[in-house]
Amino acid sequence: MISIKKLHKKYGKLEVLKSIDLNFEDSGIHTILGPNGSGKTTLMKAILGMVIPNDGSIEFNNKPILGEWEYRKDIAYLPQIAHFPQNLKVQELLNMLKDIRPGAVREAELISLFQIKPFLNKKLGNLSGGTAQKVNIIIALMFDSPLILMDEPTVGLDPISLIRLKKLILDEKSKGKLILITTHIISFVEEVSDRIVFILDGNIYFNGTIDTLKKQTNQKNLENAIANILEKTNV
């Protein structure tokens, strides 16, 4: 579905992605791991066309995305930090987005799942961090898109909402969707992901299943395996 070739991106002198090659097939949950500032968000934004690469190409369904916009109707994006227009009400924002992008089929279902109903008439600026994140999730997932990009979806969620989110993600996967997630919560990765891509300093250090990673590093659990990669690179 997505094929990334020799993707290179720098902000000023800072090289964020150094010639990355990646392929994502048609379905499954892929987690992108890496320390802060390793280029995970930049990678997602490049797929969305929000960040323009310095070099390399990204193809979505075998078509280059540079300068295109229609392909985004097949992508649901959950940004890392929920930035909303502060003076709008939740319902107004949802209506506006539905008007701009037709095809929001799951709005009501998600609102009841995350219990957002009491907040629909509150201003977005007055929401707590967790509630804002739930609104963020609703906005992203109310469109039925074959590709879902989630940038740290778990931030600020309470345990119950986290369980619901996990179930939601697994449901989406069972519908045959491709889901890319960045996160720092290892237990979350172990539970949901089919494949791990580990990015460090703009390079891909590991790309494969959790079991392969464990075998490769001779570690029993994922946390140590990841620590193992990080330590090796520091030596």
Q: Are 20 and 6 in contact (CB under 8 A)?
A: yes
Please choose, out of 20-28, 99-107, 207-215, 222-230, the segment that lies near other proteins by the rule CB under 8 A: 99-107
Bridge partners of 208, per DSSP, are: 196
**Residue 50 interacts with other proteins (CB under 8 A): yes or no:** yes
Q: Are 44 and 77 in contact (CB under 8 A)?
A: yes
Q: Where are the alpha helices (DSSP H) in 10-113?
A: 40-48, 90-100, 107-113
| Closest approach of other proteins to the CB of residue 163, in Å | 26
**Residue 63 interacts with other proteins (CB under 8 A): yes or no:** no
**Of 84, 122, 154, 185, the one binding other proteins by CB under 8 A:** 84
Q: How many residues bind other proteins (CB under 8 A)?
A: 26
Task: State the greatest distance between any 2 C-alpha atoms of the chain, in Å, as a whole number.
Answer: 54
What is the C-alpha separation between 101 and 112, in angstroms, rounded? Answer: 21
The tokens of 24 are what? 């994502």
x/- site string to other proteins, residues 170 to 209, per CB under 8 A? ----------------------------------------
Binding-site ranges for other proteins (CB under 8 A)? 11, 45, 48-52, 67, 69-73, 75, 77, 79, 83-86, 96-97, 99-101, 139
